[in-house]
């Protein structure tokens, strides 16, 4: 990959490599800055198979940092700057990273563990023009490390080698038609393995990476489309949001949809929005198998099931459907999906026990990864996902082990026991995480808001339950498993018509939008109703803000209202949203 990137630098030095709010950067400049970073890393003893953290916003600095690490022969660990310091510190420590690439103002934060030094990208002098390292990385060298939620209460790092990433990139460039004409936005968090599609693919073929403002809202999404995006790599949750926002489709001709179950209903809405000529590709692949291992191009006439198939494996990859004894299941029967081939990760970083559990040897000696996904083979030979064999859930494409959240809850001194289960709020199709805690009788009682704050200090926001309740005990079955059906419904009070306070005209207007976005009863909404407690997540919040801005605030104040939306994010009650909307509308 490094050689392919350098080939583009030599053949298209003045072509635009990056375009965004900061301006444009040519391939020549991207390469020069990456070489400066690589030289600094090598001067500090960073080289092959060394992991360096990358804690930067979705910016040109993040791109030059990632490619600088690759040019130096090192591997990068992409991190989300919105995650709490404790979480970032734990990742760097677990990865044994001796250095972290970062930028202002994150360099002032307290997330570096002992033995990890910062390299502030903003402070480097890019006037020099150092030579590229003479030896490119070997196929077996480490390229990047991404972390996923862990069932033992700790996140686990996935080690991806150059040969795995190269196999994926070579196939994806050909299959998706990625070339010099491609303008591909970076929509996902850097820490999400899907983000590597945008960080890598365009630069192998002379394409352009489009950057957007760090705040994800309907305005920034439309801006990046208007900047000439020709392809999008995104989760079904993000695609669902875009179809509901009424955005102009622009020149987008390819959708690479990955990370969650992709329904036919959503695919049809996407085709209606982007047009019949747009290729809608359903990609499947866990982080442990390097981004994507199978694909299916959506065909409305052929794909009549509820979900779009995940298709056939790509070059260098095999898919196996096995039963509990690891025997092949008959065509049409459901089995656990195992993945084999060159794209398998080296393993879990520093976790040989877990690596042996999940990366197994089949009867013929083939090394394979146990995905935990249930699937069946269709008469066409393609594969369709059917669910999970365990409790793992996905929120906006992010894999989440509920036990990791429960473990973190139990680190609070007031919590004796905790369990987290997914539930579906009334009237909605998406599941939401719900936390249940047994409080210690020997310590002062705590409010659920304090436990939420505790989680936010240690976990990404997408792992924080939408609702939490204190219970006397955790109900269990005779086999010792959590009896989820016996737990109280945390959304019952949120949807019941208990707030009889009359709504003002602005509040009534906002209530109608909430009812539509959340699929709830407008009669159950009052001034104190909380968007989060009603099951609204960050993507539903974006949709709500967009509709309030359009329908209530009006065109002249829509941008100002959207920019000020963070004012009510911490406590998004109906009264606060309506109050800000009215303030901006009348300003």
Burial class from Cβ neighbours inside 10 Å (0-12, 13-18, 19+) for residue 108 reads exposed
* CA-CA-CA-CA dihedral for 540, 542, 545, 551, to nearest 10: -80
CATH of domain 495-586: 1.10.1200.10
CA distance 397 to 164: 21
CB 274 within 8 A of CB 264: no
pLDDT of 355-366, one tens digit each? 999 999 999 999
Mean pLDDT is lowest, of 64-73, 136-145, 206-215, 469-478, for 469-478
Is 0.75 surpassed by the pTM of this model? yes
User: How would residue 495 be classed by pLDDT, with cut points 50, 70 and 90?
Assistant: very low
**Average pLDDT of the residues in 175-200:** 94
Q: Is the pLDDT of residue 206 over 60?
A: yes
**Average pLDDT of the residues in 25-42:** 97
What CATH number matches the domain at 401-490, 3.30.300.30, 3.50.50.60, 3.90.470.10, 3.40.109.10? 3.30.300.30
From 194, 570, 569, select the one nearest 399 (Cα to Cα). 194
- pLDDT at position 217: 87
Per DSSP, the residues of 274-319 read H-TTSEEEEEE--GGG-S-SEEEE--TTT--SSB---BEE-TTEEE
More confident residue, 403 or 451: 451
- pLDDT at position 10: 96
- CA–CA distance from 398 to each of 149, 334, 358, 395 (Å)? 8, 24, 19, 5
Domain ranges of the chain: 401-490, 495-586
**Average pLDDT of the residues in 450-457:** 91
**Average pLDDT of the residues in 38-46:** 96
User: How would residue 498 be classed by pLDDT, with cut points 50, 70 and 90?
Assistant: low
**Average pLDDT of the residues in 280-302:** 96
- pLDDT at position 400: 86
Q: Is the pLDDT of residue 254 over 60?
A: yes
- CA–CA distance from 64 to each of 49, 91, 145, 289 (Å)? 19, 21, 17, 25
């Amino acid at each position: 990959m490094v050689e392919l990137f350098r080939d583009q630098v030599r053949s298209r030095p003045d072509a635009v490599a990056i375009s965004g709010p900061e301006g444009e950067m040519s391939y020549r400049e991207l390469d020069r800055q990456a070489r400066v970073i690589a030289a600094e890393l090598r001067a500090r003893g960073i080289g092959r198979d060394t992991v360096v953290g990358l804690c930067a916003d979705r910016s040109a600095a993040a791109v030059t940092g990632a490619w600088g690490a690759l040019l130096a022969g090192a591997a990068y660990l992409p991190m989300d700057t919105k995650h709490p310091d404790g979480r970032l510190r734990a990742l760097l420590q677990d990865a044994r990273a001796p250095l972290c690439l970062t930028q202002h103002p994150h360099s002032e934060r307290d997330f570096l563990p002992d033995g990890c030094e910062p390299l502030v990208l903003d402070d480097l002098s890019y006037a020099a023009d150092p030579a590229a390292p003479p030896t490119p990385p070997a196929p077996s060298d480490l390229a990047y490390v991404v972390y996923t939620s862990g069932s033992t209460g700790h996140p686990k790092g996935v080690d991806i080698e150059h040969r795995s990433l190269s196999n994926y990139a070579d196939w994806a460039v050909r299959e998706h038609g990625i070339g010099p004409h491609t303008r591909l936005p970076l929509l996902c968090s850097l820490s999400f393995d899907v983000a590597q599609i945008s960080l890598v693919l365009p630069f192998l073929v002379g394409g352009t990476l489009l950057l957007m403002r760090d705040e994800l809202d309907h305005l920034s999404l439309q801006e990046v489309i208007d900047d000439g995006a020709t392809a999008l790599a995104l989760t079904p949750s993000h695609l669902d949001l875009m179809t509901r926002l009424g955005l102009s489709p622009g020149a987008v001709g390819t959708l690479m949809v990955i990370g969650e179950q992709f329904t036919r209903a959503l695919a049809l809405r996407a085709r209606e929005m982007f047009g019949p000529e747009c290729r809608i590709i359903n990609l499947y692949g866990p982080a442990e198998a390097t981004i994507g291992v199978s694909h299916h191009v959506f065909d409305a006439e052929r794909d009549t099931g509820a979900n779009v198939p995940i298709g056939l494996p790509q070059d260098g990859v095999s898919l196996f459907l096995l039963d509990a004894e690891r025997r092949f299941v008959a065509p049409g029967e459901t089995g656990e999906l195992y993945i084999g081939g060159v794209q398998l990760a080296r393993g879990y970083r520093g976790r040989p026990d877990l690596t042996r559990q999940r990366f197994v040897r089949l009867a013929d000696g083939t090394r394979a990864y146990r995905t935990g996904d249930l699937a069946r083979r269709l008469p066409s030979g393609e594969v369709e996902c059917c669910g999970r064999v365990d409790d793992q859930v996905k929120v906006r494409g992010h894999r989440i082990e509920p036990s990791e959240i429960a473990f973190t809850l139990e680190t609070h001194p007031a919590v004796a026991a905790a369990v987290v289960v997914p539930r579906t709020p009334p009237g909605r199709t998406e599941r939401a995480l719900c936390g249940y805690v047994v409080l210690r009788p020997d310590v002062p009682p705590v409010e659920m808001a304090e436990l939420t704050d505790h989680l936010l200090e240690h976990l990404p926001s997408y792992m924080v339950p939408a609702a939490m309740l204190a219970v006397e005990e955790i109900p269990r079955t005779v086999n010792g498993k959590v009896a989820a059906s016996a737990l109280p419904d945390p959304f019952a009070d949120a949807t019941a018509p208990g707030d009889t306070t009359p709504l003002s005209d602005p509040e009534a207007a906002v209530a109608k939008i909430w009812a539509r976005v959340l699929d709830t009863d407008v009669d159950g909404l009052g001034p104190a109703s909380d968007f989060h407690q009603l099951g609204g997540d960050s993507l539903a919040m974006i949709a709500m803000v967009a509709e309030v801005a359009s329908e209530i605030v009006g065109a002249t104040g829509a941008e100002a209202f959207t920019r000020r939306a963070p004012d009510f994010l911490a406590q998004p009650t109906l009264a606060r949203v309506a109050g800000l909307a009215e303030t901006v509308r009348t300003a």
